[in-house]
């Protein structure tokens, strides 16, 4: 229930996934969390609520922008979309993540040999 | 978005957030229902998957905040509301803390002003004090031979007549080396300070006025500079006026006069004032070098004297920072007081911590609820700490107000010649100290309850509806607090008890004379008046005749140094058939010059032989010695009939009587340690002091039934009728002189007693509170016991045992720590050992009795427990 529980991922991972998802399409919070859950084959057990503090952080950093609208189910929802800065940030984060993953993979491989 | 915009639009942001989350939940529920779940299950599932809603909202909001500050502000707001809700608790706790913090602030103001604030001279850290005392000759030699520092000396206790301006005035003067002002880097407000070389005969005819004297006597007249004023009948040119904040060595000094370094007058040059020496380190020199150099100087300084000096003279001289040097004797007293108030505050804290602890216990449900809502343990602890710090801050503010009142009172208790006393005030250091103290106090007070709020205990507490099992933990904590509280109180009361015993011993000791119904006054013609000894003697004889004829006067006499009057007149003597220790000088005596009636007027008993008679004034030379002196120089013999001779006199004096010892130096000592004996001689032309002149300044002692101020007026009239140039000063009763001698111990004692009473009162409240709480917690158990057939006696025993357990532990710990700690105050004690068994026993008994009483009330309540009522709580 504490912060460390809900972010079993490395710091920034949730934000990165949110940005990646929003890059494809504008979504509101509920759809966003369902999408992330689905695409990860429910492997990432994130609490739905943990999405909102992350979204607020992105909003404050002006990496996403939000608009109130009406959903397909005729519900008043706030949808989020990527800003230019958000797109750039995502690129940087992804390449940083790939470098990190690369490094980790090398270390793991070296361990086996 | 600027921070201001953020702040303004925040409400909307929060609303958006709540709505968004609400929509999220509803969408989820609808979806689950659409999949065939019952509505209530769907609500539960949606909430489960979402997680803690309020926590999520709070964390999302925190993104927009300065997190720590804002939740801190929220905590304060909440704390303030909580404190307001329980006004009685808040008032008691804040007042208790205010007493503790206030007392600490007041005492710390003194410590700060006197010990910590740098001396008000430029580069104060370069100023040093050379411990030990040196006559002019040694000082001049030191000035020439020491290269690590510039040195100068000063001599206090020189009073001068200011005449030629109407009524004669007696001024408190300080003699100064000409260099001393520049060593202090002090500048004149008007005119100039003394210059190098202005302290030798022929060039020393200058004076500098204090600002206050300049205002009072010269109406702030700037043209006074360069004009002569008449001091002791001699015109001296005023060269400067010092600024109002220049108070050296203390605020008492009204006028500064140069030393008169005259190698020709051997007795004053080498044996006049033994003066304190201060110095300023030269730019490249260190304190260590200065110290080494002074030790080297001291090694051969004794050989400079025209007579052999004892090896012990200034043997342990050292160089210390001037500030330490000047306040050496106040230092320990202040630090003792600070320690005492520190303990009072600790006790106050313990008490409030205990109070808070029992309040926390009653608030357990509240905390459990907050924990269930998602508040972390740290968050609740922080809330509790914020509350107690808030409480302590209220106490701190209130304490500051107390301290402001108390400080003026404290200042009036300290001797007026305490250096820097006048400048003591509350500065930023004091405020910082108080603020720091309040915060520390708050943390200390809040720590125990905060620690108690453990997650496990909280959940248990919620389950059991507030009658939790956490009680045993908190009870242990409370007992520990109360034990330490009692121990501290015991320690403080023992300290106060020792001070009382010491003070009682001091004020009840026999000073060797009867001070009742005696009025004293200093009558001081100019020194030149006594150039002709006979003229001087005649003057005093006439004053005496006039005074004796006043109504109600049963006797009057003159003495050059009044007992406890703060003056010593030293004189070297030869003693017949006394073999001087090789290498030692002739014994140094305290020579009292008195008129024949002195012993009778002062009520000093003559132990053997006789006192003086009128015929002694003109007859064969005689002397009287004190019992202590007689024992020292004529052990196992009768001193009466033996002979002594003032150094350089032709004739031997016959000792005609031995009088009882007089506490003349202070109430603990007949004479300073460097004095070998005390002798009295009749006032006649042969009664010369070290400067080979008869004393020109005398104190009159009048035994009379007339009321003091009326008699004083008559005395002034009598003197004025003989000469309008002779001031009458220091008019006070002998009783006042004696109580002046105990005023410092009296002040210290009364403060200790005040602090100890406070500690005792707080300690009692502590025991009472803890035991009451214990009884209320165990009401059910006690009721059960009674229902099962326990007798009142058993219940009494049960509760009293608890009380006795921590009272006796506390008393034992207090006694042991007193044994360890009170030795620090040994030098403040007179006539009582720091381990005085009587005090320890009495305090232990009193504490035990008080603890018993404090236990008794809650115990009685326990005994009245009605089993039916108690069990109904179930």
**Is there a single domain that holds both residue B175 and residue B252?**
yes
B residues 57..76 contacting A (CB < 8 A): 57, 59-64
Can you give the pLDDT at residue B494?
A: 93
Which one of B60, B67, B380 would you mutate to disrupt binding with A, by most A Cβ within 10 Å of its Cβ?
Answer: B60
The distance in angstroms from the start CA to the end CA of chain A is 40
Domain A3-112 of CATH type 1.20.810.10: no
Give the residue from chain A lying closest to B3, CA to CA.
A60
Q: How confident is the model at residue B690 (pLDDT cuts 50, 70, 90)?
A: confident
- Contacts of B873 by beta carbon, 8 Å cutoff, 6+ apart: B779, B780
- Above 60 in pLDDT, residue B595? yes
Residues, chain B: 874
Pair type for strands B206-209 and B234-241? parallel
Q: What integer pLDDT is reported at residue B580 of this predicted model?
A: 59
Residue B400 pLDDT class (50, 70, 90 cuts)? very high
* B588 falls within a domain: yes
**Residue B312, number of CB atoms within 10 A of its CB:** 9
Same domain flag for B632 and B575: yes
Contact between B438 and B395 (Cβ < 8 Å): yes
- Whether residue A95 is predicted with pLDDT greater than 50 in this model: the reply is yes
Q: Which residue of B has its CA nearest to A30?
A: B24
**Average pLDDT, integer, range B276-297:** 93
What is the reported pLDDT for B470? 45
The answer to whether residue B796 scores a pLDDT higher than 60 is yes
| Chain-centre distance for alpha carbon B152 | 29
- Does residue A103 have a pLDDT over 80? yes
pLDDT computed for residue B414 by the predictor: 78
**Disruptive mutation site among A7, A55, A56 for chain B (greatest number of B CBs within 10 Å):** A56
Best mutation target among A4, A6, A53 (most B Cβ atoms within 10 Å) is: A53
Domain count of chain B?
A: 5
Chain B residues within an 8 Å CB radius of A1: 51-52, 55, 374
Q: Which of B99-113, B424-438, B789-803, B833-847 has the lowest mean pLDDT?
A: B789-803
Task: Please classify residue B735 by burial: count the beta carbons closer than 10 Å to its beta carbon, then call 0-12 exposed, 13-18 middle and 19+ buried.
Answer: middle
What's the CA gap between B664 and B668, in Å, rounded? 9
Task: Name the band, by pLDDT with cuts 50, 70 and 90, for residue B90.
Answer: confident
Assigned token pair, B646: 């003032």
Q: Smallest Cα–Cα separation from B749: which of B551, B505, B430, B383? A: B505
For residue B460, name the pLDDT band (cuts at 50, 70, 90): low
Split at pLDDT 50, 70, 90, the class of A2 is very low
**Torsions phi, psi of B608, nearest 5?**
-150, 160
Query: Is the domain of B177 the same as that of B306?
Result: yes
Same domain? B476 vs B426: no
Do both B455 and B488 map to the same domain? no
Best residue of B1, B16, B56 to probe chain A, by most A CBs closer than 10 Å: B56
ipTM confidence score: 0.81
Instruction: Pick A60 or B710 by higher pLDDT.
Output: B710
Q: Is B26 on the interface with A (CB under 8 A)?
A: yes
Cβ distance A23 to A82 under 8 Å? yes
Rounded to an integer, the average pLDDT of A15-30 is 86
Residue B458: band (very low, low, confident or very high) from pLDDT cuts 50, 70, 90: low
Q: Which of residues 27-86 of A touch B (CB under 8 A)?
A: 28-30, 33, 47-50, 52-53, 55-57, 59-60, 66, 68, 73, 75-78
Residue among A30, A48, A78 minimizing CB distance to B51: A48
B735 domain-assigned: no
Q: What is the pLDDT of residue B66?
A: 65
Cβ neighbours of B56 in A, within 8 Å: 49-50, 52-53
Tell me: pLDDT of B212 over 80.
yes
Angle at B21 between CA B19 and CA B22, to 5 degrees: 60
B228-231 and B606-609 beta bridge pairing: unpaired
Interface test mutation site (partner B, options A27, A49, A56, max chain B beta carbons within 10 A): A49
Which is nearest to B57 in space by CA: A61, A93, A55, A87?
A: A55
Per-residue model confidence as pLDDT tens digits over B840-855: 999 999 988 888 888 8
Contact indicator for B285, B149 with CB cutoff of 8 Å? yes
Cα–Cα distance between B623 and B635 in angstroms, integer?
A: 18
Sheet holding A76-82, edge to edge: A27-28, A76-82, A64-70
> Is residue B703 a contact partner of residue B601, using CB atoms and an 8 Å limit?
yes
A80 strand-pairing partners: A27, A66
Whether the CB-CB separation of B806 and B482 falls below 8 Å is answered with: yes
Residues B632 and B675 in one domain: yes
Per-residue CA distances from B173 to B239, B259, B426, B691, B737 (Å): 15, 11, 30, 20, 21
Token pair for residue B872? Answer: 């109904």
B728-733 vs B234-241, strand pairing mode: unpaired
Please say if the pLDDT value at position B469 is more than 50: no
What radius of gyration do chain B's Cα atoms show? 37
Q: Cβ of B28 and A3 within 8 Å?
A: no
List phi, psi (to 5°) of B532. -100, 105
d(CA B169, CA B209): 14
* Residue corresponding to tokens 């968004």: B20
Residue in B55, B56, B54, B28 with CA at minimum distance from that of residue B42:
B28
Question: B457, B371 in Cβ contact below 8 A?
Answer: no
Q: To which residue do tokens 């260099």 refer?
A: B179
Asked whether the beta carbons of residue B26 and residue A75 sit closer than 8 angstroms, the reply is yes
Over 50: is that where the pLDDT of B522 sits? yes
The fraction of chain A above a pLDDT of 90, given in percent, is 0
d(CA B379, CA B385): 10
Whether residue B30 lies inside any domain: the answer is yes
Residue B638, token pair as written in the block: 């009768």
B11 CB burial (10 A radius; 0-12, 13-18, 19+): exposed
**How far is the C-alpha of B91 from the C-alpha of B439, rounded, in Å?**
18
pLDDT over threshold 60, residue A6: no
Nearest to B660 by CA among B512, B822, B863: B512
The alpha carbon of residue B461 is apart from the nearest alpha carbon of chain A, in Å, by 21
Answer yes or no: is B630 within a domain: yes
DSSP string, B146-160: --SEEEEEEEEEEEE
pLDDT value at residue B873: 56
- Tell me whether strands B275-281 and B255-258 are parallel, antiparallel or unpaired: unpaired
Cα separation of the two ends of chain B: 59
Q: How do residues A36-73 score in pLDDT, each as one tens digit?
A: 888 877 666 677 888 888 888 888 888 888 888 887 77
Q: Taking residues B302-326, what's their average pLDDT? A: 84
Joined together, the tokens standing for residue B748 give 């210290």
| Whether B166 and B282 share a structural domain | yes
- B72 pLDDT more than 50: yes
Give CA separation, B269 vs B136, B150, B588, in Å: 5, 20, 17
Q: What is the pLDDT of residue A56?
A: 85
Closest partner residue to A75 (CB to CB) among B23, B59, B62 is: B23
How many interchain CB pairs under 8 A, A with B?
71
pLDDT band at B443 (very low <50, low <70, confident <90, very high): confident
Q: Is residue B468 over pLDDT 90?
A: no
Task: Indicate the range of A1-15, B49-63, B224-238 predicted with least confidence.
Answer: A1-15
Instruction: Based on the fold, state whether residues B36 and B57 are members of the same structural domain.
Output: yes
DSSP E strands: which ranges in B226-305? 228-231, 234-241, 255-258, 275-281
More confident residue, A67 or B471: A67
Q: What pLDDT score does B67 carry?
A: 59
**pLDDT for the residue B1:** 46
Q: What's the rounded mean pLDDT across residues B602-616? A: 94
Cβ distance of A48 and B62 shorter than 8 Å:
no
- Burial (CB < 10 A; 0-12, 13-18, 19+), residue A35, is middle
pTM beyond 0.80: the answer is: no
Residue B670 predicted with pLDDT over 80: yes
pLDDT at A1: 37
How far apart are the C-alpha atoms of B561 and B733, rounded to whole Å? 15
Query: Considering only CB atoms, which chain B residues are within 8 Å of A6?
Result: 51
Please tell me the distance from the alpha carbon of residue B484 to that of residue B351, in angstroms, as a whole number. 10
Q: How far apart are CA B392 and CA B102, in angstroms?
A: 12
CA distance B437 to chain A (A): 34
**How far apart are the C-alpha atoms of B75 and B711, rounded to whole Å?**
70
d(CA B764, CA B805) in angstroms, rounded, equals: 15
Please state, rounded to an integer, the average pLDDT across all residues of chain A: 80
Q: Do B28 and A30 touch (CB under 8 A)?
A: yes
- How many CA atoms, within 13 angstroms, populate the side-chain half-sphere of residue B453? 31
Give bridge partners of residue B257 from the DSSP assignment: B175
Question: Given this model, what pLDDT does residue B186 score?
Answer: 93
Could you say which residues from 3 to 32 on chain A have a Cβ atom under 8 Å away from some Cβ of chain B? Answer: 3, 6, 28-30
Tell me, yes or no, whether B584 lies in a domain. Answer: yes
Residue with tokens 């304490």: B399
pLDDT at B462 over 70: no
Average pLDDT of B457-485?
63
What are the chain B neighbours of A5 within 8 Å (beta carbons)?
none
Rounded Cα–Cα distance for residues B377 and B451 (Å): 10
- Quote the CA–CA distance of B540 and B29 in Å, as a whole number: 114
Domain limit, last residue, from B309, B328, B347: B328
Answer with the one of B726, B761, B791 that is the final residue of a domain: B726
Q: Classify B636 as helix, strand or coil.
A: coil
User: What are the tokens at B19?
Assistant: 């709505």
Residue B371 has pLDDT above 80, yes or no: no
Q: Closest CB to B376: pick one of A2, A33, A60.
A: A2
- Pick the more confident residue, B270 or B267: B270
Strand partners, A70: A76
Higher pLDDT, B23 or B602: B602
Would the pLDDT of B44 be above 50?
yes
> How high is the mean pLDDT of chain B?
86
> B619 and B684 share a domain?
yes
What does the pLDDT look like over B810-866, one tens digit per residue?
Answer: 999 999 999 998 988 888 888 899 999 999 999 999 988 888 888 887 777 777 777
C-alpha–C-alpha distance, residues B376 and B21, integer Å: 22
User: Which residues does B360 contact at the CB level (< 8 Å), separation at least 6?
Assistant: B367, B384, B449, B452, B453, B474
3-state secondary structure B514-565: CCCCEEEEEECCCHHHHHCHHHHHHHHHHHHHHHHCCCCEEEEEEECCCCCC
8 Å CB contact of A52 and B53 = no
Residue of B27, B52, B61 lying closest to A49 (CB–CB): B52
Please give the average per-residue pLDDT across B84-91, as a whole number.
83
When comparing pLDDT for B765 and B278, which is higher? B278
**Burial class of residue B30 in the structure, from the number of CB atoms within 10 Å of its CB (0-12 exposed, 13-18 middle, 19+ buried):** middle
Task: Tell me the pLDDT band of B558, cut-offs 50, 70 and 90.
Answer: very high
Structural domain including B244 reads 124-328
Q: Are residues B95 and B182 in the same domain?
A: no
Q: Which residue of B has its CA nearest to A49?
A: B50
Going by pLDDT thresholds of 50, 70 and 90, the confidence category of residue A3 is: very low
Lowest average pLDDT, out of B126-140, B390-404, B724-738, B796-810, goes to: B796-810
Mean pLDDT of B690-702: 90
Cα separation, B780 vs B786, in Å, equals 10
d(CA B61, CA B102): 41
Q: Quick one: pLDDT at residue B227?
A: 92
User: Which residues of A fall within a CB distance of 8 Å from B20?
Assistant: 28-29, 52, 77-78
B567 against B310, higher pLDDT: B567
- How many CB atoms are located within 10 Å of the residue B209 CB? 27
The answer to whether residue B632 scores a pLDDT higher than 80 is yes
Query: Where do the H-state alpha helices sit in A1-113?
Result: 3-6, 13-24, 29-39, 51-60, 84-112
More confident residue, B790 or B169: B169
- How close A108 gets to chain B, by Cα (Å)? 34
What residue segments make up the domains of chain A, in order of their start? 3-112
> Last residue of a domain, which of B22, B39, B65?
B65
Q: Are residues B338 and B299 in the same domain?
A: no
Q: Which of B89-103, B535-549, B856-870 has the lowest mean pLDDT?
A: B856-870
How many angstroms separate the CA of residue B76 from the nearest CA in chain A?
Answer: 24
Interface contact B20, partner A, CB < 8 A: yes
- Reading phi first (left if > 0) and then psi (alpha if -120 to 50, else beta), residue B127 is in beta
Do residues B177 and B268 both lie within one domain? Answer: yes
- Please give the pLDDT value at position B612: 95
Query: CA-to-CA distance for B659 and B623, rounded, in angstroms?
Result: 11
> Across B20-29, B155-164, B701-710, which has the greatest mean pLDDT?
B701-710
DSSP codes of every residue in B570-633: EEEEEETT--PPTT--SPEEEEEEE-TTHHHHHTPPEEEE----GGGGTSS-EEEEEHHHHHHH
């Amino acid at each position: 229930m504490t912060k460390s529980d809900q972010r079993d991922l490395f710091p920034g991972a949730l934000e990165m996934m949110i940005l990646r998802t929003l890059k494809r399409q504008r979504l509101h919070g509920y759809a966003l969390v369902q999408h992330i859950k689905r695409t990860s084959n429910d492997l990432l057990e994130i609490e739905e609520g943990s999405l909102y503090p992350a979204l607020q952080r992105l909003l404050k950093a002006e990496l996403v922008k939000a608009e109130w609208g009406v959903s397909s189910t005729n519900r008043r929802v706030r949808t989020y979309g990527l800003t230019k800065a958000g797109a750039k940030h995502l690129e940087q984060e992804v390449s940083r993540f790939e470098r990190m993953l690369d490094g980790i993979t090398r270390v793991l491989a070296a361990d086996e040999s | 978005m600027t921070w201001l915009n953020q702040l303004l639009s925040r409400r909307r942001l929060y609303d958006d957030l709540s709505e968004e989350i609400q929509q999220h939940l509803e969408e989820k529920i609808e979806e689950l229902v659409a999949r065939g779940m019952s509505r209530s299950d769907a609500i539960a599932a949606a909430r489960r998957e979402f997680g803690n809603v309020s926590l999520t909202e709070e964390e999302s909001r925190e993104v927009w905040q300065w997190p720590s500050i804002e939740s801190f502000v929220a905590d304060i707001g909440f704390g303030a509301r909580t404190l307001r809700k329980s006004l009685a608790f808040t008032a008691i706790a804040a007042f208790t803390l205010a007493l503790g913090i206030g007392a600490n602030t007041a005492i710390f103001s003194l410590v700060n002003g006197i010990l910590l604030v740098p001396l008000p001279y430029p580069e104060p850290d370069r100023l040093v004090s050379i411990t030990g005392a040196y006559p002019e000759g040694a000082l001049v030699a030191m000035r020439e031979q020491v290269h690590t520092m510039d040195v100068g000396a000063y001599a206090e206790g020189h009073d001068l007549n200011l005449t030629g301006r109407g009524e004669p005035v007696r001024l408190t003067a300080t003699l100064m080396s000409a260099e001393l002002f520049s060593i202090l880097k002090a500048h004149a407000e008007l005119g100039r300070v003394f210059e190098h070389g202005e302290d030798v005969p022929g060039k020393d005819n200058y004076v500098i006025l204090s600002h206050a004297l300049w205002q009072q006597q010269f109406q702030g007249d700037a043209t006074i500079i360069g004009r002569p004023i008449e001091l002791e009948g001699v015109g001296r040119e005023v060269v400067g006026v010092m600024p109002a904040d220049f108070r050296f060595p203390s605020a008492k000094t009204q006028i500064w006069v140069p030393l008169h370094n005259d190698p020709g007058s051997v007795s004053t040059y080498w044996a006049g004032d033994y003066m304190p020496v201060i110095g300023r380190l030269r730019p490249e020199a260190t304190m260590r070098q200065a110290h080494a150099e002074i030790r080297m100087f001291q090694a051969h300084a004794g050989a400079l004297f025209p007579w052999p000096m004892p090896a012990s003279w200034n043997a342990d001289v050292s160089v210390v920072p001037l500030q330490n040097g000047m306040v050496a004797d106040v230092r320990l007293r202040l630090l003792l007081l600070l320690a005492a108030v520190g303990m009072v505050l600790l006790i106050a804290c313990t008490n409030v911590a205990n109070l808070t602890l029992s309040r926390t216990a009653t608030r357990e449900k509240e905390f459990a609820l907050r924990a269930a809502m998602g508040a972390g343990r740290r968050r609740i602890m922080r809330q509790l700490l914020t509350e107690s710090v808030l409480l302590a801050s209220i106490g701190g503010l209130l304490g500051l107000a107390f301290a402001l009142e108390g400080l003026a009172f404290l200042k009036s208790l300290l001797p007026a010649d305490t250096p820097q006393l006048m400048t003591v005030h509350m500065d930023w250091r004091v405020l910082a100290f108080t603020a720091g103290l309040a915060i520390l106090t708050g943390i200390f007070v809040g720590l125990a309850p905060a620690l108690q709020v453990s997650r496990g205990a909280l959940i248990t507490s919620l389950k059991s509806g507030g009658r939790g099992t956490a009680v045993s933990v908190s009870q242990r904590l409370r007992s520990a607090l109360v034990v330490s509280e009692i121990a501290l109180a015991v320690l403080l009361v023992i300290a106060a008890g020792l001070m009382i015993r010491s003070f009682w011993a001091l004020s009840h000791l026999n000073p060797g004379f009867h001070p009742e119904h005696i009025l004293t006054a200093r009558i001081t013609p100019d020194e030149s008046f006594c150039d002709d000894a006979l003229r001087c003697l005649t003057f005093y004889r006439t004053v005496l005749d006039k005074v004796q004829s006043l109504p109600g006067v049963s006797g009057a006499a003159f003495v050059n140094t009044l007992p406890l009057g703060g003056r010593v007149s030293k004189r070297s003597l030869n003693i017949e058939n006394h073999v001087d220790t090789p290498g030692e000088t002739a014994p140094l005596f305290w020579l009292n010059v008195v008129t024949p009636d002195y012993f009778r007027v002062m009520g000093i008993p003559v132990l053997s032989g006789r006192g003086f008679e009128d015929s002694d004034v003109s007859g064969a030379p005689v002397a009287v010695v004190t019992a202590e002196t007689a024992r020292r120089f004529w052990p196992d013999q009768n001193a009466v009939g033996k002979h002594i001779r003032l150094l350089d006199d032709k004739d031997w004096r016959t000792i005609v009587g031995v009088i009882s010892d007089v506490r003349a130096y202070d109430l603990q000592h007949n004479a300073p340690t460097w004095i070998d004996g005390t002798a009295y001689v009749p006032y006649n032309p042969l009664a010369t002091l070290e400067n080979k002149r008869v004393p020109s300044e005398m104190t009159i002692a009048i035994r009379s039934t007339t009321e003091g101020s009326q008699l004083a007026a008559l005395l002034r009239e009598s003197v004025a009728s003989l000469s309008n140039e002779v001031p009458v000063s220091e008019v006070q009763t002998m009783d006042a002189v004696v109580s002046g001698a105990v005023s410092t111990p009296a002040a210290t004692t009364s403060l200790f007693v005040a602090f100890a009473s406070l500690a005792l009162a707080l300690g009692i409240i502590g025991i009472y509170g803890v035991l009451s709480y214990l009884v209320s917690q165990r009401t059910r158990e006690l009721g059960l016991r009674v229902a099962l057939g326990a007798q009142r006696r058993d219940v009494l025993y049960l509760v009293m045992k608890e009380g006795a357990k921590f009272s006796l532990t506390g008393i034992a710990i207090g006694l042991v720590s007193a044994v360890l700690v009170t030795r620090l105050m040994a030098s403040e004690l007179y006539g009582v050992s720091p381990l005085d068994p009587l005090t320890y026993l009495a305090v232990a008994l009193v504490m035990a009795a008080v603890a018993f009483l404090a236990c008794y009330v809650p115990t009685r309540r326990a005994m009245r427990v009605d089993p039916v009522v108690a069990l109904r709580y179930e």
